[in-house]
Structure 1
Amino acid sequence: MKLKYLFFLFIIVTKTSLFAQKMDTDSLLVATNKVISVEKNYTKAIALCQLGIKKAPNYLDFYVSLGNAYKMTNQIDSARYYFKYVIAKNTNYKEAFSYLTRLEIEQNKADAALQTIDQALVLCPEEKDFHLLKLRALELENNPKATATYLSFLIKKYPEDTTLKDRLFDMKLDAYGDRIGISNTTTVFNRSGVGPWNYTSLHYAKQLKNATIIGRFDYNDRQSSGTSVLSGSMYELETYYKTSPKNYSFLNIGISNDRIFPKVRLNYSFFQNLGKGWETELGIRYNKTNTTENYSTALGFGKYLGAGWFNLRSYFQIGQKKPYPSFASTYRYYFNSRYDYFAINAGYGTSPDERETISQFDQRVSLNSYRIGAGYNKVVFKKFIIGAQTGFNRQEYTPSKYQNEINITLQLQWLL
């Protein structure tokens, strides 16, 4: 009986000791990670990790923390060794695969990163973070085709993740690079003696890493009964540039000495990605002619809906007796790239973004306007973008009197 009592006492003491040791090592690990993430004292963290390994050599969390501490002190080989050690001991340790892959990506070692993450995906094929790490590793190889193929695979696998679609569109846009284009819009009227109007634009677009810069030459000719009554040209410079991974800006500057265009035209908009396919816009428009100046605000939002994109934009006048609001809505359905799409649009009122009628903005802004339209863009032969749009506008040209306007636009761009 006494022997049995001593045996049970031994078991209790042993379990208590082991529990106390577990509590001691857990507390040490928490303290170590705090030193790494909060205090950022990596030398101290290395010493704590080594102490933890000495106390509990099978506690793999200490090896991972030690790898992270070595990484932060730029001791890359040591960091790599400890991450690999953990993977060799326990292939179910997902964090070790992630840390090692990120380390190789940061060292620009695409092959090593892909080798590690492919091993992880064999073990955990449904782990989304592993797929996203593989995408980052593929991007290091500077092989747009392979990256685009994998992005397409991920879009099918995770259709709810609209950021993947954005990345594919942006990548294809970057791949197209520089381009030269020409477009012409002809407007005809149902009023006798008015029109046609012809608006022609030539542009050159330069694609940089985080920006697109576009130079544009515009020529506008308005006719009455077949005779030109007003014409002129304008020079424009505009850019779309990324200010961060989640926002970008648009800036347009135009100048002209001809009455058919504003003397100075300045447009700016800031776009913010809100996640889940949502985007907002806040902007300002300024146009100065020989006799007037006007300011407008632009407010809008966009939403990706599967392969489609919907946008609603509104404009309000500043410094006028009334705000004279106008609204423009657009829906695009994309096919293979940002340049392959079908679009429909509808709107009310006159906006300062309408190039063809901008010189009449002061007269039209206070009048009613109801418009609808549709268009189609297509990349052909992997070298050209062709496009055609048409629109109908029921325009009030003087109070209570209306005219019908039909616009037809044709455009061609050459991908350099």
Structure 2
Amino acid sequence: MAVLKHLLTGILMCWAMQTQAQILKQKNNAEALYNQAVQETKLQHYDKAISLSHQALKAQPDFIDQQLLLARLYMLTKQYDLSRKYTKEVLAKNPRYRDAYYYAINVELTTGKYAEAECYVDEALAYFPGSREFMLKKLGILDLQHKVYRGNELAETILNKYPEDTTVRNAYIEHHLQSGKYYQQLGNSGMARQSYDRVLLVDPRNREAREANLGVALKGGNYQSALEQVNDELSAHPGSYDLLMRKLGILEDMHAYTEALSTLQEIQRRYPGDAKAHTLETSLRMEAATYYANMDPYTLYGSVLEKNPGNREALDKLIGYSMARGAYQEALAWINRGLKAHPNDSRLLTLKMDVLEGDRKYGSAAALAMILYQRAPNPALKERLVQLQTATGREYLAQQQYDLALASFESARQVSPGDSTVLQLLANTYISQKNTSAALKVLDQALTYYPANESFLLKKSGVLADAGRYEEAAAIAGELAARYPSDERFSNNFADMRLTAGRNLMRAEEYDLAKQQFEQVLAVVPSNQEALEYMINMQSATGKPDSALYFADKALTYYPGNRDFLLKKASVLQDMHAYNESAAITGDLMNRYPYTIKYKNAYLTSLMSAGTDYQRNQQPDSALAMFNQVLALRPKDSMALLYSINILNGRQRYDSALAYSAQGIKYYPDNETFLMKRAITLENKKDFAAAALVADSVVKLQPTAVNTDYRDYLQSKTLKNQFGLYYLNSSYDYMSDKYNIATIEYRHYIKRGSYAVQLNYAGRKTGNGLQGLAEMYYTHTPKLYSYGMLAYSNKTVFPQLRAAYSIFKTFKKDIEVELGGRYLNLDSTNSFSGVVSVAKPFGDFWVNLRGYAISESSDFYTSFNLTTRYFMNRRQDYLQVVAGLGTSPDDRSRLINFPNLSGLLTHSIGAGYQKVIRYRTTLGLFGTWINQKISDTGYQNQYDIYVTLQRKF
């Protein structure tokens, strides 16, 4: 049963791993197919792009970018129903996908479904309020549906919001041109003229609007207006043949034959060869003769007034006829004639005001309205006065004469302080001039009349923000957001205020205050993407990774799968040393978007950090696994290679370390670091010959003192033989003889130690002494080795027989303990000694305390030595100090007198220095003073000088 359970578990694990691998493979495949489809679309291979897109969606059904591409392809191939299908699927998954709305709107416009297109653009504006592009789209849709009034309102809104935007101005002009044409088709010449006038307010020289206005005037019989327009054109182009002929036609229609004949004469003068002008002269004169033969009422009333200038009825009739014909200048002339006789006549003044307004001379009309209002104030006249002053100000604004416009609006405000239109225009003008204090003063006055008005509150909030008074601006925006919680305009406006304040505080490095701004944004709009990004960044920057992680998780609840927030979360986890969690996120991003380099780099950074963290925590195998993952993705990563080499050397996996060093040298030839790592690895492997060759190449590349020294060290390790010369000079204060020993030595190094043979020579009065000696050091394990020695002589000077053996064991903290024995035969005296020593390094110092227990016949003695060395130059050279008590069986200088010295109280102290030159030649100089007590009051002294020379070859 247990076997079956384990078997099922194994099958499930394999199935899960295969499934995960398959999903990853499908995602990668879907990305690749998507990229191919994009390329085919650019080449206009639409059928092939559609096929690739369906393959990508089959591999990854939730691939939203691919669905949108398919919607575009079906629109390009005029398969509109399919395009609608995929667009709706995209918007259902992500209602804030901006490009999807463009496709949805364009499909409905192309198929003539304007109402559906309008629904889509309204939906887009709900998610992106104030978007210039979507507002312009909506304006175009309204124009296609001939919804003129709504279009007018929207056009004004867009122009007020983007007054300096060329695209918006062009759209505004195009809208009113279309509106004018539409009204012309309906036969509504008054509304058509208003549309063309709005165009001319924005673009006074718009030729199409001027021509259309002229056409409207002629069609409506408003010849005087048409004549004035032609005269305006002629002032700019005085010799234009077409304009002169058009003026001639208008004058003919007005029956102003005298002026018409004068115009015809000017044409003939300017264009003497024009046949048409000569033909017109006869017909024009005949028509004039016929007309004057049948005098109209206007002429008759004129003759009456000529005979009786005070006839008021005739005057009123002439004014009426002139205004009916649109001849405002003529009507004004009759009114002025009447005012000469009756300067204070209110009716004539009112008529004159009407004529001036009809002739668009709003300033003059407003001046008359002021006179009339001051004489007889009444609500109707007050409203008329304010309208005229407002119209005057608008005219000045169109001409960018802001001072005159302000004067007109201020006059209107004095008459009607609470007029909302006047207050709006005043505030807008001051804002356009960047006169913050004046704009705020006007807005404050407006809010005293309309305290809850959204438009004034929003405008004041914007002015305060532009002035840098963000707290006051945000307070107003916050009040509006609280009052209308379901209206995104106000919450978004509040968020923009706080975000701007936060950015400025960040630039001033006031991070805590900036955080408060972003927190207030999130309190009103918890899903605000920009505020969430700032909070994550700032919490990370100020050393609060836990808070940064909280906001990253919060952001991902609103925007699950968002790449930027996932990457930020991974970065926060990295800062928190949660490297494996960070790597899980960045690894998933890399797999989902394999062609995005930043995700791959982030994943590699997480792996490297995890690896170095494992190294610090003494987990080399886990660290090595991380570095291997890095190298699988980026084989040239130098740090991963170096760390791996170090770990493998530490684990004594030298062959693997050599493989990594070879990989590093392959990608970075002649790199000093990788060459040195290879040399060190070969040294660890005891392959000193190969290591020395690599070190030599390092020296050729970088001939520094350190590199040269290391090369010499490795080369010395390849030398197996050593020749030595030693000289010991001993002198005494109690006799004239000297005891000198010369030694020659040969030593051979083997894998586990070394062995040596010596020949010692000493000359005495009693004869010459020779001694042969053999010794060996043998390493059993890295922490256990032995020393053995055997010497034999002719007994003349040296002891006949010497033997020694010690075994050394290294314990924790580098404490070395020695146990051994010594044997000495001299003059039929046999001496047996036991040896115990303890050694311990302390940094560059090394201390050894050795004790001897000596048994000689029936006597028993002890001896002690304390040796201290100070190492230098990579522990090659040292200074040495030795203090002794008693006579040691290892002391060669006193063995000749050994039986005589037994039992004497002996003190000794010595010092010396050893120097190694290029790891081959060793020089040493040592001196010792020995003091022996021979009686209660008698002492004798011995002085030793010891010189050494060793040379490896």
Compute the TM-score of the two structures, normalised by the length of structure 1: 0.63
Residues 62-101 of structure 1: matches in 2 within 5 Å? 88=632, 101=648
Residues 128-147 of structure 1: matches in 2 within 5 Å? 136=681, 139-140=684-685, 142-144=690-692
Q: Which amino acid aligns with 1:234?
A: Q
Among residues 739, 748, 752, which one is paired with 1:206 in the alignment?
748
Structure 1 position 229, deviation (Å): 3.4
The residue number in structure 2 matching 1:342 is 879
SS at match of 2:776: strand
Query: What runs of 5+ residues in structure 2 fail to find an aligned partner?
Result: 21-579, 581-623, 666-676, 697-712
Residues 299-378 of structure 1: matches in 2 within 5 Å? 299-318=836-855, 321-337=858-874, 339-378=876-915
Structure 1 position 258, deviation (Å): 2.0
- Which structure dedicates a bigger proportion of its chain to strand? 1
CA distance 1:145–1:325, change in 2 (3 Å):
farther
* 2:658 paired with 1:111: yes
Kept in 2, the 8 Å contact 1:344–1:374? The answer is yes
Kept in 2, the 8 Å contact 1:87–1:97? The answer is no
Q: Which amino acid aligns with 2:684?
A: E
SS at match of 2:778: strand
CA distance 1:387–1:176, change in 2 (3 Å):
farther
Among residues 757, 760, 763, which one is paired with 1:215 in the alignment?
757
The residue number in structure 2 matching 1:6 is none
Radius of gyration: which is bigger? 2
Q: Which amino acid aligns with 1:181?
A: G
The residue number in structure 2 matching 1:243 is 780
Among residues 257, 261, 269, which one is paired with 2:794 in the alignment?
257
Kept in 1, the 8 Å contact 2:845–2:871? The answer is yes
The residue number in structure 2 matching 1:293 is 830
Q: Which amino acid aligns with 1:139?
A: N
- Identity of matched residues, %: 26
Kept in 2, the 8 Å contact 1:173–1:338? The answer is no
CA distance 1:98–1:384, change in 2 (3 Å):
closer
- Cα deviation 1:154-213 (Å, max 9, x = unaligned): xxxxxxxxxxxxxxxx9797456422111111111111x342111111111111121111
The residue number in structure 2 matching 1:183 is 726
Q: Which amino acid aligns with 1:201?
A: T
Kept in 2, the 8 Å contact 1:388–1:409? The answer is yes
Kept in 2, the 8 Å contact 1:264–1:288? The answer is yes
Is the deviation greater in 201-210 or in 319-328? 319-328
CA distance 1:282–1:196, change in 2 (3 Å):
same
Kept in 2, the 8 Å contact 1:174–1:207? The answer is no
Distance 1:116 1:400 in 2: 77
Is the deviation greater in 136-145 or in 360-369? 136-145
Distance 1:270 1:208 in 2: 18
The residue number in structure 2 matching 1:390 is 927
Structure 1 position 260, deviation (Å): 2.0
Q: Which amino acid aligns with 2:691?
A: N
CA distance 1:134–1:265, change in 2 (3 Å):
same
CA distance 1:385–1:135, change in 2 (3 Å):
closer
Count, aligned residues: 314
The residue number in structure 1 matching 2:948 is 411
The residue number in structure 2 matching 1:18 is none
Structure 1 position 242, deviation (Å): 0.5
SS at match of 1:317: strand
Kept in 1, the 8 Å contact 2:851–2:864? The answer is yes
Structure 1 position 319, deviation (Å): 6.2
| RMSD (Å), alpha carbons | 4.5
The residue number in structure 1 matching 2:766 is 229
- Which structure dedicates a bigger proportion of its chain to helix? 2
Distance 1:138 1:382 in 2: 15
Kept in 2, the 8 Å contact 1:345–1:373? The answer is yes
Distance 1:341 1:287 in 2: 31
Kept in 1, the 8 Å contact 2:855–2:861? The answer is no
Structure 1 position 134, deviation (Å): 10
CA distance 1:366–1:173, change in 2 (3 Å):
farther
Q: Which amino acid aligns with 2:903?
A: S
Is the deviation greater in 241-250 or in 135-144? 135-144
Q: Which amino acid aligns with 2:804?
A: N
SS at match of 1:111: helix
Higher relative contact order (CA closer than 8 Å, sequence separation 6+): 1
Kept in 1, the 8 Å contact 2:867–2:883? The answer is yes
Is the deviation greater in 47-56 or in 286-295? 47-56
SS at match of 2:661: helix
